[in-house]
């Protein structure tokens, strides 16, 4: 058991804390350099080394992926695969997890080779790929109409990834696949903690400094396990709130405890998402304003009104992330602790992982 106390003279942002407790082992801290959220449009590809580029194939050494930089004329003036079909791809390794806000493409310099439409894939590992989607539909980017014009796209929502892959869908049929690319964005600020399935993080705070009107919890998670407790909060009379991954779906359970005190709507159970155990990052947001609750998973939001005497005043001033510290307190829950990673845990604007790392 490792305990960390927070001094009472901390600044106004963090003065609501009294202490942080770790149960068992919470490990794998990682902090990245903070990027500017107001000017996240740096060119990311132009300065990359040749080793950062790869592809499904190359027509010749002068058509290798390392020649695929925007507006450059080295080699044959761009990347071209050995065969033009829909199984080819051009990949870049940005070296670290990065926020990507825009992309741009050209054809091969001075040629008849250009791509007219393509898909964009992204990954943290370079093995497990996810496709960029817009409005939850497959999104094919319109490409080029000649070899030298630049087609620039500002992404509707940014991508956070280390690896990016361009997958041509169609190309100029009087030539072949040819691409030069640029990617825009900035370094992504990331506070990550890993859980080993036997761990949980307990955050205890000062009830005198808490608002009774509003609670906001946000985090991202990534896992290969289909079950596990992400968040738990419990009261003295059996009241509890639990966020649990069950068979790859997220379930938010609000239990008002004593059915004699709360005879109607004593339990609310909302399920969102599917296949969330795919080793990709998924975002969660829980907002509570009086009896109004907004539960959001990956941009899908369920709004509901918790009837009765639902109030966080019925709950202890303690949050548990990654598991339930005392198994058996809350009925029939599976009690499987979370196995995977959390990123950027915030409770009412407080960065929980950063506080744990610093204390």
Average pLDDT over residues 169-186: 97
In a 3-state reduction of DSSP, which class is residue 289?
Answer: strand
Dist CA 327 CA 335 (whole Å)? 6
42-187 has which CATH code? 2.60.120.260
Dist CA 129 CA 19 (whole Å)? 39
User: Of 331, 270, 337, 260, nearest to 300 (Cα)?
Assistant: 270
User: Of 131, 128, 197, 179, nearest to 159 (Cα)?
Assistant: 131
Supply the mean pLDDT for the chain: 81
| pTM of the predicted protein model | 0.68
Could you tell me the pLDDT band of residue 336, with boundaries at 50, 70 and 90?
confident
Distances from the Cα of 73 to the Cα of 134, 167, 176, 279, angstroms: 33, 22, 17, 38
In a 3-state reduction of DSSP, which class is residue 208?
Answer: helix
**Mind listing the pLDDT tens digit for each residue in 91-139?**
999 999 999 999 999 999 999 999 999 999 999 989 889 999 876 666 7
Dist CA 123 CA 91 (whole Å)? 11
Query: Could you tell me the two tokens for 149?
Result: 């014009």
| Residue 294: how many other CB atoms lie within 10 Å | 14
Average pLDDT over residues 217-229: 93
Domain spans, the chain: 42-187, 192-326+335-358
**Mind listing the pLDDT tens digit for each residue in 192-212?**
899 999 888 988 876 655 555
Place of tokens 């869908």: 169
**Mind listing the pLDDT tens digit for each residue in 269-305?**
899 999 999 988 899 999 888 778 899 998 889 988 7
Q: Do strands 240-246 and 42-43 pair parallel, antiparallel, or not at all (unpaired)? A: unpaired
Q: Do strands 2-5 and 90-106 pair parallel, antiparallel, or not at all (unpaired)? A: unpaired
- Asked which of 51-55, 57-61, 111-115, 210-214 is least confident by mean pLDDT, the reply is 210-214
User: Of 314, 31, 339, nearest to 192 (Cα)?
Assistant: 31
User: Of 235, 219, 328, 341, nearest to 279 (Cα)?
Assistant: 341
**pLDDT for residue 310:** 53
Whether 42-187 shares its CATH topology with 192-326+335-358 is answered yes
**pLDDT for residue 238:** 67
192-326+335-358 has which CATH code? 2.60.120.200
Could you tell me the pLDDT band of residue 30, with boundaries at 50, 70 and 90?
very low
Average pLDDT over residues 141-152: 96
Dist CA 114 CA 179 (whole Å)? 6
């Amino acid at each position: 058991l490792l305990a960390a106390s927070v001094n009472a003279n901390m600044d106004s942002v963090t003065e609501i804390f009294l202490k942080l407790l770790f149960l068992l082992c919470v490990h794998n801290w990682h902090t990245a350099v903070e990027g500017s959220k107001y000017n996240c449009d740096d060119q990311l590809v132009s300065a990359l080394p040749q080793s950062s580029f790869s592809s499904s194939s190359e027509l010749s050494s002068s058509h290798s992926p390392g020649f695929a930089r925007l507006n450059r004329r080295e080699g044959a003036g761009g990347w071209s695969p050995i065969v033009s079909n829909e199984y080819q791809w051009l990949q870049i390794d940005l070296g670290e997890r990065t926020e990507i806000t825009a992309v741009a493409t050209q054809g091969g310099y001075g040629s008849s080779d250009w791509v007219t439409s393509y898909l964009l894939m992204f990954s943290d590992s370079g093995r497990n790929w996810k496709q960029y989607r817009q409005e939850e539909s497959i999104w094919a980017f319109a490409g080029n109409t000649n070899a030298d014009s630049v087609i620039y796209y500002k992404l509707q929502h940014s991508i956070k990834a280390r690896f990016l892959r361009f997958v041509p869908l169609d190309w100029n049929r009087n030539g072949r696949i040819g691409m030069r690319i640029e990617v825009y964005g900035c370094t992504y600020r990331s506070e990550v903690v890993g859980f080993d399935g036997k761990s949980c993080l307990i955050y205890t705070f000062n009830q005198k400094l808490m608002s009774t009107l509003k609670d906001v919890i946000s985090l991202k998670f990534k896992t290969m396990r289909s079950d596990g407790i992400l968040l738990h909060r419990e009261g003295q009379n059996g009241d509890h709130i639990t966020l649990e991954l069950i068979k790859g779906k997220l379930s938010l359970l609000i239990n008002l405890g004593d059915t004699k005190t709360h005879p109607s709507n004593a339990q609310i159970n909302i399920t969102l998402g599917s296949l969330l155990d795919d080793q990709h990052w998924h975002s969660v947001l829980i907002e509570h304003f009086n009896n109004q609750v907004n539960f959001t998973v990956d941009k899908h939001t369920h709004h509901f009104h918790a009837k009765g005497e639902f109030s966080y005043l019925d709950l202890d001033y303690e949050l548990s992330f990654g598991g339930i510290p005392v198994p058996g307190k809350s009925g029939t829950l599976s009690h499987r602790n979370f196995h995977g990673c959390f990123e950027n845990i915030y409770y009412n604007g407080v960065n929980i992982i950063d506080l744990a790392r610093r204390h």
